[in-house]
């Protein structure tokens, strides 16, 4: 009898601890970076977010006539400053670039339990503020959010850039948690993800990038670090193959990790070449 009580107590303790850890992984400390736009005409403003809060936004207009608008979205724990280096390349090509901090990041409004779907809501808030066709660029969680936003607003998206993205949400989360801490990833992550499924009403994989990709018939550039440990390279290849045939291209940054693909010396040319071949040629 005592053995049964010990086992039941252990199970209850495991469930409660995993529930607490589910809360904690949504509250991972934010690590903002600091880099301001140094080109064009910069507008620093705040716009309304979906829940009545606000998003901090930079809009950078080129010196001459704009070729279009690019919305750039950072990944988990970062902020709009993270996208400045990437935006600079597109800005100098003549595009208006718009960078925002997702809710609960940077100077935007707090919001508990952020996830890829919430990132997509913030992208849509920015799209509504821009009020016109856009190019979307997302990194990591911002890339997953960009896929969701593109799927919900297909007629408004001209091109799609996905950096450090993944194919299936469940296995991506398992990989992510194992890359942070192997013990946590093996022992607790499966239950943490099950709690998420309960909270999100079994919706994790319903918004998996690979599931939505099949409906996105537009030019896509998938950018990935060769040594990405958060979402290994095969995940990005699977995502590429999920898009309609011939629509998704692939740039692999040699030796780069999850966040450094944009530092590859060939990255600027890959961006420029993709844009020149596909912009206004859907």
Question: Which pLDDT score is estimated for 202?
Answer: 59
DSSP 169-203: HHHHHHHHHHHH-HHIIIIIHHHHHHHHHHHTTS-
Which of 230, 221, 210, 270 minimizes the C-alpha distance to 248? 221
Asked whether residue 72 falls in the same domain as residue 160, the answer is yes
Please indicate, yes or no, whether residues 259 and 272 belong to a single structural domain of this protein: yes
Helix, strand or coil for residue 256?
coil
**pLDDT score for 5:** 64
Residues 128 and 226 in one domain: yes
| Residue 67, Cβ density class (10 Å: 0-12 exposed, 13-18 middle, ≥19 buried) | middle
> What φ, ψ does residue 55 adopt, rounded to 5°?
-120, 135
DSSP-derived secondary structure for 31-85: --------SSEEEEEEEE-TTS-EEEEEEEE-SS----EEEEE--TT--GGGGHH
Q: Is residue 3 domain-shared with residue 124, that is, in the same domain?
A: no
What's residue 21's pLDDT? Answer: 85
C-beta of residue 196 within 8 angstroms of C-beta of residue 233: no
Are 47 and 122 within one domain? yes
CA 259 – CA 101 distance, rounded (Å): 17
191 sits in the region (left: phi over 0; alpha: psi -120 to 50; else beta) called alpha
User: pTM for the full model?
Assistant: 0.93
pLDDT at res. 188: 86
First to last CA, the chain: 69
pLDDT at 149: 97
Domain shared by 18 and 148, yes or no: no
Q: Which domain holds residue 155?
A: 32-168+208-278
Q: Are residues 103 and 243 in the same domain?
A: yes
Residue ending a domain, choose from 148, 181, 204: 204
Question: Based on the domain organization, do 14 and 118 belong to the same domain?
Answer: no
Regarding whether 250 and 110 lie in a shared domain, the answer is: yes
What is the number of domains present in the chain?
A: 2
Residues 79 and 147 in one domain: yes
Instruction: Tell me which of 204, 223, 255 is where a domain ends.
Output: 204
Do 124 and 182 share a domain, yes or no?
no
Q: Which residues of the chain have pLDDT under 50?
A: 282
Q: Is 197 in the same domain as 218? A: no
User: What's the CATH number where 125 sits?
Assistant: 3.40.50.1820
């Amino acid at each position: 009898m005592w053995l049964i009580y010990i086992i039941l107590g252990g199970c209850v303790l495991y469930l409660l601890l995993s529930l607490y850890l589910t809360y904690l992984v949504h509250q991972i400390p934010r690590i903002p970076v600091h880099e301001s736009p140094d080109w064009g005409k910069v507008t620093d403003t705040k716009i309304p977010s979906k829940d009545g809060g606000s998003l901090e936004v930079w809009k950078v207009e080129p010196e001459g006539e704009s070729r279009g608008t690019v919305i750039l979205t950072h990944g988990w724990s970062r902020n709009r400053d993270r996208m400045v280096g990437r935006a600079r390349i597109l800005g100098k090509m003549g595009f208006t670039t718009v960078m925002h901090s997702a809710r609960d990041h940077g100077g935007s409004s707090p919001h508990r339990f952020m996830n890829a779907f919430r990132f997509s809501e913030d992208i849509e808030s920015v799209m509504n503020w821009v009020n016109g066709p856009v190019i979307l660029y997302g990194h990591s969680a911002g890339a997953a959010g960009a896929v969701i936003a593109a799927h919900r607003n297909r007629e408004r998206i001209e091109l799609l850039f996905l950096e450090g993205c993944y194919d299936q949400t469940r296995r991506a989360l398992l990989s992510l948690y194992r890359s942070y801490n192997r013990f946590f990833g093996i022992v607790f992550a499966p239950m943490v993800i099950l709690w998420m499924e309960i909270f999100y009403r079994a919706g994790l994989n319903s918004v998996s990038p690979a599931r939505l990709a099949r409906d996105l018939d537009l030019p896509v550039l998938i950018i990935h670090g060769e040594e990405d440990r958060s979402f290994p390279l095969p995940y990005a290849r699977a995502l590429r193959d999920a898009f309609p045939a011939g629509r998704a291209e692939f740039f692999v940054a040699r030796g780069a990790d999850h966040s450094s693909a944009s530092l590859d010396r060939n990255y600027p040319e890959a961006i420029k070449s993709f844009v020149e071949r596909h912009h206004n040629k859907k």
